Chain A
Amino acid sequence: MTQSGDVKTLKIDGRDLSARADETILDIARENGISIPTMCELEGLSSPGACRLCLVEVKGSNKLLPACITRAEEGMEVTTNSERLVNYRRMIVELLFTERNHVCSVCVSNGNCELQALGQQVGLTHVHFPYRFPKEEVDASQDRFIADHNRCILCTRCVRVCDEIEGAHTWDVMGRGIESHVVTDLHDAWGDSASCTSCGKCVQVCPTGALSEKGRSVAEMHKRRQFLPYLTMMREGHE
Chain B
Amino acid sequence: MAMYTTHPAAPSQDKRWKLVDATMRRTGKTSRGLIETLHKVQEAFGYIDEEALRYVAMSLRVPLSRAYGVVTFYHFFTLKPPGKHTCVICLGTACYIKGADKLIAEAEKLLNVKAGQTTPNGEVSLVTARCVGACGRAPVALFDGELSGQIEVPQLLEQLQGWSAQ
Contacts and interface: CB of A to CB of B under 8 A. Distances in A.
A–B contact, 8 Å CB criterion (strictly below): yes
Interface residues of B, number: 12
B68 interface: yes
Interface stretch (A114-122, A141-149, A167-175): A167-175
A200 to B, nearest CB: 17
Nearest to B62: A169
A187 interface: yes
Contacts of A168: 63
Nearest to A194: B64
Interface residues of A, number: 18
Contact of A195 (B53, B63, B69, B73): B63
A60 to B, nearest CB: 36
Given A186-B64, A194-B64, A195-B63, A172 B69 contact: yes
Nearest to B64: A185
Interface in B14-39: none
A183 interface: yes
A168 B65 CA distance: 10
A184 interface: yes
Contact of A171 (B50, B65, B72): B65
A174 B64 contact: no
Contacts of A169: 63, 65-66
Interface in A146-174: 159, 163, 168-174
Interface string A67-109: 0000000000000000000000000000000000000000000
Contacts of A135: none
Contacts of A235: none
A176 interface: yes
A176 B73 contact: yes
Contacts of A195: 63-65
B67 interface: yes
Contacts of B68: 172, 174, 183, 185-187
B50 A186 contact: yes
A183 B65 contact: yes
Contacts of B69: 172-174, 183
Contacts of A176: 72-73
Contact of A174 (B50, B54, B72): B72
26 contacts: A163-B63, A169-B65, A169-B66, A170-B65, A171-B65, A172-B65, A173-B69, A174-B65, A174-B68, A174-B69, A175-B72, A175-B73, A176-B72, A183-B69, A184-B65, A185-B65, A185-B68, A186-B50, A186-B53, A186-B54, A186-B64, A186-B65, A186-B68, A194-B64, A195-B63, A195-B64
Interface of B: 50, 53-54, 63-69, 72-73
Interface of A: 159, 163, 168-176, 183-187, 194-195
